[in-house]
Amino acid sequence: MSAPAPIDAPSPNFDSRTAPPDMIVLHYTGMPTGQAALERLRDPEAKVSAHYLVEEDGRVFALVAEARRAWHAGVSFWKGDTDLNARSIGVEIVNPGHEHGYRDFPGAQVAAVIGLLSDIRTRWTVPDAFILAHSDVAPDRKQDPGERFPWRTLHAAGHGLWAEPLAAPGEPLGPGDEGVGVFALQAALKRLGYDSPPSGRYDEQTRILITAFQRHWAPHRLDGVADGETRARLMGVLRAAAGYDLGLATEAH
């Protein structure tokens, strides 16, 4: 899928990278209009930015050069790294978000995002396992682009990880639970990339991380309870990530 020609809309909010980007973080704007978001991302007083903004009608605005470090991820974590702005390309997707009337992402917008990702990945080596949600890397404070974002559609177009295994047996794991099952769940979250030191106690942080995982990969529930489907999807995504890490992924999605 070809990418639409970006519209130049330079933002002054950037600084230098220390290494080539190998990650893409997807956001929603979370503001009433796309114009308001575009203005904020270009406001030097706001001190926030992204590399691109994708409007609902499919227009793409280029704000910061990919070779520069935009300010979009904020306080974040993935696989032990806490300076994700330095290694990522940030894409803001216009949507009012949970606070202003969260809604589905239009087809033209999703097609533009897919085209943009395809274009970006011709220039930089970005593994599918490193195409992430803002809520993945900042789960305690962000929920974008949220459970309505069509991650499965992105995966079908060749971008990002997805898994739809059969549900795992057993009772759900949730807040207050303890034991080996909880330890294994936390270890799996940590292996995927979340900040999840295994303790064997299903604490509030574990609930937050499971909710973040559900927003991206298991949107059948968003309560932070690891039922059989959530656990099976976590294992499936881990297997997919391992396949990409080992160079074993095929073109079949």
Annotated catalytic residues are: 92
**Burial level of 160, CB count in 10 A (0-12/13-18/19+)?**
buried
State the Cα angle at 144 between 43 and 122, rounded to 5°.
80
pTM: 0.94
Average pLDDT per 10 consecutive residues for the chain, totaling 253 residues: 81 96 98 98 98 98 98 97 97 98 98 98 97 98 98 98 89 97 97 97 98 97 96 96 54 32
- The Cα 160–Cα 18 span in angstroms is 24
Q: How confident is the model at residue 3, as a pLDDT?
A: 61
User: Domain 180-245 is in which class?
Assistant: mainly alpha
CATH 3.40.80.10 residue spans of the chain = 7-156
Say if CB 22 and CB 84 are below 8 A apart: no
Residue pointed to by tokens 């533009």: 112
Buried b (16+ CB within 10 A) or exposed e, 104-121: ebeeebbbbbbbbbebbb
- The Cα 96–Cα 163 span in angstroms is 28
Q: How confident is the model at residue 169, as a pLDDT?
A: 85
- The Cα 160–Cα 154 span in angstroms is 7
- The Cα 215–Cα 229 span in angstroms is 13
CATH 1.10.101 residue spans of the chain = 180-245
In the sheet that 131-133 helps form, which strands lie side by side, from edge to edge? 7-8, 60-62, 52-54, 88-93, 23-28, 131-133
CATH 3.40.980.10 fits domain 7-156: no
- The Cα 192–Cα 204 span in angstroms is 19
